[in-house]
Structure 1
Amino acid sequence: MSDETGSHTDVPENLPSAQDGHHGDTIARTDPFADPGLPPHEHRRQDIDEKAARHSERVVAGLFTLSMLGTIAFIACFVIFPVDKIVYIFPFGHVSALNFSLGLTLAVALFSIGAGAVHWARTLMADEEVADDRHRIDADDELRENVRQQWITGAKESGFGRRKLIRNTMMGALTMVPLAGLVILRDLGPLPEKKLDHTMWAKGKQLINTNTNQPLRPEDVLVGSLTFAQPDGLEESQDDFQEQLAKAALMIIRLKPDDIKDKRELDWSHQGIVAFSKICTHVGCPISLYEQQTHHVLCPCHQSTFDLSDGARVLFGPAGHPLPQLRISVNSEGNLIALGDFEEPVGPAFWERS
């Protein structure tokens, strides 16, 4: 190249010409390790078309609404399906209706929240990329203020305050999903209601020998003997047989009236025959070890010891309360009967906190 004076100017061969086009290509030619910068921002359809933006808003709100319906269906399935119902579902085969329905509805509830949040972020939230320098971990006041402003800007650009349909359905979905966890707590066991406060014993119920399945008579119980009894009408064919027996199981011991130290125990007995719950007041183990000379019974689980001649009070061990006593008498046929239920719940002393 020559200028007007006729002198020549050398041009480096590696400089781009005017036809090279992009600035990035220029940088790459001069410095292959330089930062090429961000590509030009491409607007989404929702950024330039409000109709498309409203459509995306309805899709997001619909997903959040579907999540709420999934949570409601989860609770409904928990109530409707019994735990032992088995159904055939292809291709899984025979499965528990309760487990399958709970898993399906909870998956719908959680997936819909995630899908709604992703669609919201990809179509409606600001998506312009920015570059920032790495900063120190210990931020100064200027950086903190910058982060705060970025948070405010991001919240504004997300449309959370402006798009009420998305905001309301999202809050509804996020509020309802934890209800599924609370409902699952119901599956820890049946609600006790008043079932633990009462047994099958009632006024006039005959004492049935658990070994012979025959009504007990006073002459059947010898001094120093230990006999186990259950209420009349309790049959092994009953669905709740074990549950009822676990609460109503009875120990029958005959003592000499002079050996009974507790006045109420004596009043509730019949000719020295006393009836106490067989269920330990510690953790509910069945008691069956009787020491004739001392009138003590021992729980085999944790060695709680009770004195049957003194209101079944605790002598040793972790049990916190005496064994409940059942008031007994005889009917016109000469059979031992109960005069009511236990005055306090049998077994572990939950009732002192109720």
Structure 2
Amino acid sequence: MSESEENLPSEPSHAHGGDVPAVRGHNEFADPGLPPHEHRRQDIDERAAKSSERTIAFLFLLSMLSTIGFIACFVVFPVDKIIYVFPFGHVSALNFSLGLTLGLALFCIGAGAVHWARTLMSDEEHAAERHPISAEPEVKAQVLADFAQGAKESGFGRRKLIRNTMFGALALVPLSGVVLLRDLGPLPGDKLRHTLWSKGKVLINQNTNKPLRPEDVPVGSLTFAMPEGLEENQERFQKEIAKAALMIIRLEPNDIKDKRERDWAHEGIVAFSKICTHVGCPISLYEQQTHHVLCPCHQSTFDLSDGARVIFGPAGHALPQLRISVNEEGNLIALGDFTEPVGPSFWERG
């Protein structure tokens, strides 16, 4: 044997038994095919099929009951009711009940559909060769025929109990969304048209919690006020101050352009709502030289020397003015409520 022959790799030896399978190609594998089809219990036992049918119908029925429960909870539970639920702690009774009932309604529809597909619909596997995206007319016809056959095998037309309860569940679930629209309706009544201000109510400085007097408001200053009797530690404070918050500004009487503003003022002291008429942000940026006040949210600008009319920005109308005067003790008081709703516009606003 030559030296070059000694360095060649030796061929594998098959002398010790066993045949080596032939290699079909570098990346080719034999098609294993589909395993033998195993019939489900429901395919061969009609009693099991009926049991599955009743289970699916029960899930759809439970979905309908949950939707009805959702509507009932929305009507029964007040917004401010708090309950203790382990392990979540103290939660809103309304939010918890709405989430629980709506979640159960949707889950039961999904669970019923999945159980239907797994136990009663046809589960035979069919292999088909890949074809071009644009199918031939024969293929399209075959697809439609297969769809019709699948619908037939699903038992949709034959199993009326499942079909009817599914339709009932699907028909009731959208009512949850319709009921939620109740909050967009005119349920507040006239609450948006009235605040805590009334004739004789003293203006309280929000910084000092003391009655405001004319001498406490120098020319060019900006002060925030709230109605007498409203305190920050009260449960209703946030709800009421959102409508009753005031800006108190003192102008030179000759600088006031609007006649009604001048008549409703006291010695140049004017009181306007602090709530922006765009989306309800609190206004707090005042420019003394121009008498303009700016909303920090979307830059709506109001001229406080001209009836607080809008001179820039998305706000739709002027800030409401509160008519004020002084009482016998020399404190600033309101002579009534706002004559128009404060804050953003709404469709019933006059």
TM-score above 0.5:
yes
Question: How far apart are the structure 1 equivalents of 2:33 and 2:277?
Answer: 78
Q: Tell me the equivalent position of 1:257.
A: 253
Q: Tell me the equivalent position of 1:206.
A: 202
For residue 234 of structure 1, report the CA deviation from its aligned partner.
Answer: 0.8
State how many pairs are aligned. 316
SS in 1 for 2:201: coil
Question: How far apart are the structure 2 equivalents of 1:309 and 1:71?
Answer: 55
Q: Which runs of 5+ in 2 are unaligned?
A: 1-29
For residue 239 of structure 1, report the CA deviation from its aligned partner.
Answer: 0.8
- Do the aligned partners of 1:226 and 1:254 also contact (CA within 8 Å) in 2? yes
Q: Tell me the equivalent position of 1:351.
A: 346
Q: Which runs of 5+ in 1 are unaligned?
A: 1-32
Per the alignment, do residues 218 and 94 of structure 1 end up closer, same or farther by CA in structure 2, a change over 3 Å counting?
closer
SS in 1 for 2:200: coil
Q: Tell me the equivalent position of 1:337.
A: 333
- Do the aligned partners of 1:345 and 1:351 also contact (CA within 8 Å) in 2? no
- Do the aligned partners of 1:298 and 1:306 also contact (CA within 8 Å) in 2? yes
- Is 1:323 the counterpart of 2:324? The answer is no
Question: How far apart are the structure 2 equivalents of 1:204 and 1:323?
Answer: 22
> Could you tell me which amino acid in structure 2 is paired with residue 350 of structure 1?
S
For residue 223 of structure 1, report the CA deviation from its aligned partner.
Answer: 4.1
> Could you tell me which amino acid in structure 2 is paired with residue 240 of structure 1?
R
Aligned identity (percent) is: 69
SS in 2 for 1:213: coil
Question: How far apart are the structure 2 equivalents of 1:286 and 1:208?
Answer: 18
Question: How far apart are the structure 1 equivalents of 2:36 and 2:318?
Answer: 82
For residue 262 of structure 1, report the CA deviation from its aligned partner.
Answer: 0.8
What is the TM-score normalised by the length of structure 2? Answer: 0.72
- Do the aligned partners of 2:41 and 2:48 also contact (CA within 8 Å) in 1? no
What's the CA shift string for 1:179-227, capped at 9, x where partnerless?
5566778899xx8665444322223322223334333344544444433
What's the CA shift string for 1:237-277, capped at 9, x where partnerless?
21121332232221223334333211111222233322112
What's the CA shift string for 1:273-317, capped at 9, x where partnerless?
221122333454444444444433344555544332211223445
Per the alignment, do residues 68 and 301 of structure 1 end up closer, same or farther by CA in structure 2, a change over 3 Å counting?
closer
For residue 325 of structure 1, report the CA deviation from its aligned partner.
Answer: 0.9
- Do the aligned partners of 2:42 and 2:120 also contact (CA within 8 Å) in 1? no
Q: After TM superposition, list the pairs within 5 Å mapping 1:2-13 onto structure 2.
A: none
Question: How far apart are the structure 2 equivalents of 1:175 and 1:150?
Answer: 28
> Could you tell me which amino acid in structure 1 is paired with residue 145 of structure 2?
Q
- Is 1:281 the counterpart of 2:277? The answer is yes
- Do the aligned partners of 1:67 and 1:112 also contact (CA within 8 Å) in 2? yes
For residue 61 of structure 1, report the CA deviation from its aligned partner.
Answer: 0.9
What's the CA shift string for 1:53-105, capped at 9, x where partnerless?
4333222211211222334445555664867745353xx47474757656654
- Do the aligned partners of 2:40 and 2:119 also contact (CA within 8 Å) in 1? no
What is the TM-score normalised by the length of structure 1? Answer: 0.71
Q: Tell me the equivalent position of 1:238.
A: 234
SS in 2 for 1:351: coil
Question: How far apart are the structure 1 equivalents of 2:78 and 2:43?
Answer: 44
> Could you tell me which amino acid in structure 1 is paired with residue 61 of structure 2?
T
SS in 1 for 2:249: strand
> Could you tell me which amino acid in structure 2 is paired with residue 296 of structure 1?
H
SS in 1 for 2:346: helix
Q: Tell me the equivalent position of 1:272.
A: 268
SS in 2 for 1:244: helix
- Do the aligned partners of 2:310 and 2:318 also contact (CA within 8 Å) in 1? yes
> Could you tell me which amino acid in structure 1 is paired with residue 346 of structure 2?
W
Q: After TM superposition, list the pairs within 5 Å mapping 1:161-310 onto structure 2.
A: 161-179=157-175, 194-300=190-296, 304-310=300-306
- Do the aligned partners of 2:277 and 2:345 also contact (CA within 8 Å) in 1? no
SS in 2 for 1:204: strand
- Is 1:87 the counterpart of 2:88? The answer is no
For residue 231 of structure 1, report the CA deviation from its aligned partner.
Answer: 1.0
Within the candidate set 114, 129, 152, 1:156 is matched to 152
Question: How far apart are the structure 2 equivalents of 1:266 and 1:245?
Answer: 25
Question: How far apart are the structure 2 equivalents of 1:324 and 1:229?
Answer: 15
For residue 167 of structure 1, report the CA deviation from its aligned partner.
Answer: 0.7
